[in-house]
Amino acid sequence: MAVHYLGHWRGHVLWPRQSGIEHSLLGALLLLHAIVLTLPVFQSGTVSLGLGTALSLLSWMMLLIFWTGSYFSRMEGLQTFLVPVAFVAVLLAEILPLPRNTYAVNDVAFLLHMVVSLLAYSLFAIGALIAILMLMQERALHERKPGRLSGKLPPLMVMENLMFQTLGTGFLLLTASLASGVLFSEEVFGKPAVFSHKTVFAVTSWLVFGALLVGRKYRGWRGRMAIRWTLGGFALLLLAYIGTKAVMQFVLH
């Protein structure tokens, strides 16, 4: 994983004439990462979704989306961020303590809610990364100083379309996640829905992304306007999930 990252950080791909080998290497890393994630589940028969495990699972889903999506869309540049994030997340999953609450593997309602939620967060995270890459590309074009990374990125229009496709899919999944968490709270979590900071941040993020998608469709929002709304919505989503989980696990435990 580290070698894979360094190759992109230096401004070139590994095995430039055999990009399929690099893609296969990332696939092998995804498989290894999946084994690391699922082995404790098979050993204990329960799912313990602490901060470290959640980050590791989130990064794995992001890499999986990138790996499969690269067959159909131009997604160059994302791996420069995704691979080191996944590497750090795997380390955090091993270092950070596990929470006391666990969920049975046969708890289908919770597992389905978790998968839908993490897929939504993964797509929004990729959308935020694309927004950051768009900012870097814009700056390089304005300054007329293309860097190593910007030289490998797709055109701005391609990245913008990919960002909105990602956000649109993520919005549908986030809608399903919020609806299941509120309407079927007792089936999913074993307790009634409560109004909390997590709910406020999550719903606010949903409203921000919804407004962005409506603005894109009816007002033609794009460029810096779209980037700001994307990063703002993702920041709220981070506070809703990662921030709340960190506070609950390490401050209010």
Q: Which of 21-35, 101-115, 191-205 has the highest mean pLDDT?
A: 21-35
Say yes or no to pLDDT of 107 above 60: yes
pLDDT band with cut points at 50, 70 and 90 for residue 100: low
Q: What is the pLDDT of residue 250?
A: 58
In the numeric block, the tokens 């990662």 are attached to 242
Average pLDDT over residues 17-25: 67
Q: What is the pLDDT of residue 31?
A: 92
pLDDT band with cut points at 50, 70 and 90 for residue 145: low
In the numeric block, the tokens 């391609």 are attached to 158
Of the listed ranges 16-25, 147-156, 214-223, the one predicted with least confidence: 16-25
Distance of alpha carbon 139 from alpha carbon 214, whole angstroms: 27
Say yes or no to pLDDT of 230 above 90: yes
3-class DSSP state of 47: strand
Closest CA to 77 of 125, 166, 148: 148
pLDDT single digits (tens) 191-220: 666 667 788 899 999 999 999 999 999 999
State the average pLDDT for the chain.
Answer: 80
Distance of alpha carbon 55 from alpha carbon 46, whole angstroms: 18
Task: Say which DSSP state 150 is in.
Answer: G
Question: Is pTM beyond 0.85 here?
Answer: no
Distance of alpha carbon 150 from alpha carbon 167, whole angstroms: 22
pLDDT band with cut points at 50, 70 and 90 for residue 156: confident
Higher pLDDT, 201 or 249: 201
Average pLDDT over residues 239-243: 82
pLDDT single digits (tens) 43-94: 777 777 777 888 888 999 999 998 888 777 767 678 778 888 888 888 887 7
Closest CA to 67 of 110, 29, 124, 120: 29
Of the listed ranges 41-50, 120-129, 226-235, the one predicted with least confidence: 41-50
Q: What is the pLDDT of residue 227?
A: 95
Question: At a CB cut-off of 8 Å and minimum separation 6, what does 100 contact?
Answer: 253
Count of CB atoms situated within 10 Å of the CB of 214: 11
3-class DSSP state of 196: coil
Q: How far is CA 101 from CA 104, 117, 200, in A?
A: 10, 18, 23
Task: Say which DSSP state 244 is in.
Answer: H
Higher pLDDT, 117 or 246: 117
